[in-house]
Amino acid sequence: MYGLVNQAVQGMVIAGFGEDIWERIKRDAGVDLDAFVSMESYDDSITYSLVQAGSAVLDMSPEDILRAFGEYWVLVTAAEGYPELMQAAGSTLPEFLGNLDQLHTRVLMTFPELRPPSFNCKEVRPGELCVKYMSERVGLAPMVVGLLEGLGKHFNTQVEVTVVEVAEGPVAATEFRVLYGVAESPA
Partner 1 sequence: MVLVDVGPGLQSLNKDMAPGSLASDWLTIRRPAISFDFPSLVENAGLAFLIECRAVDGLVLRGQVLHDPEQGVLFFLGGPQVANFSEMRALGLGLRDLPPHDSMGDMLVLLETKQAALVDAQNLAEKLTMKRKWFQALIAASSDIVGVIDRSGCVEYVSPGIEKLRGMTSEALVGESFIDWLHEEDAAALRAVLNNENWGPNARHHQLVRLQDCHGVDHTLDVSLRNMADHKYVGGIVINLSDVTDRLELRHQLLQVQRLDTLGQLAGGIAHDFNNLLFVIISYAALLKDAAEPESRDWEDLDEILQAANDASGLTSQMLTFSRKQEVELSTLSFRSVVDEMMDMLVRLVGEKYKLSARTEGSISLVSGDEAQLRQVLINVVVNAKDAMPEGGEIEIELADVEIEEERLDCLGSLVPPGNYVVCTVIDSGAGMSREVLERAFEPFYTTKGRGKGTGLGLATVYGMVAEHRGAIFVDTELGRGTRFSFWLPRSNSAPSGEAKAPSAFVPNLETERILVVDDSEAILKVVDRVLGQRGYEMHTASLPSAALEVVQGEPVDLMLVDILMPEMNGMQLVEKAHALNPEIKVLMMTGYSTAGILEQVTEANLPVLWKPFTPETLIARVRGVLDGDVDQTPG
Residues at the contact surface with partner 1, assessed by CB under 8 A: 4, 7, 34-35, 37-39, 81-82, 84-85, 87-91, 95, 98-99, 102-103, 106-107, 109-111
Q: What is the smallest separation between the CB atom of 7 and partner 1, expressed in angstroms?
A: 7
Q: What is the smallest separation between the CB atom of 10 and partner 1, expressed in angstroms?
A: 12
As a whole number of angstroms, the distance between CA 77 and CA 75 comes to 6
Choose between 3 and 142: whose C-beta lies nearer to partner 1: 3
3-class secondary-structure state, position 32: coil
Give, in degrees to the nearest 5, the angle at Cα 133 between 128 and 137: 155
Q: What is the smallest separation between the CB atom of 95 and partner 1, expressed in angstroms?
A: 7
Contact indicator for 91, 98 with CB cutoff of 8 Å = no
- Residue spans of alpha helices (H) in the chain: 3-17, 19-28, 44-58, 62-72, 79-81, 83-88, 93-107, 141-154
Choose between 39 and 183: whose C-beta lies nearer to partner 1: 39
Choose between 63 and 101: whose C-beta lies nearer to partner 1: 101
Q: Tell me how crowded residue 102 is: count the other CB atoms within 10 A of its CB.
A: 10
Q: What is the smallest separation between the CB atom of 126 and partner 1, expressed in angstroms?
A: 20
Choose between 17 and 82: whose C-beta lies nearer to partner 1: 82
What count of Cα atoms within 13 Å lies in the side-chain half-sphere of residue 164? Answer: 12
As a whole number of angstroms, the distance between CA 92 and CA 145 comes to 17
Q: What is the smallest separation between the CB atom of 60 and partner 1, expressed in angstroms?
A: 27
Choose between 19 and 165: whose C-beta lies nearer to partner 1: 19
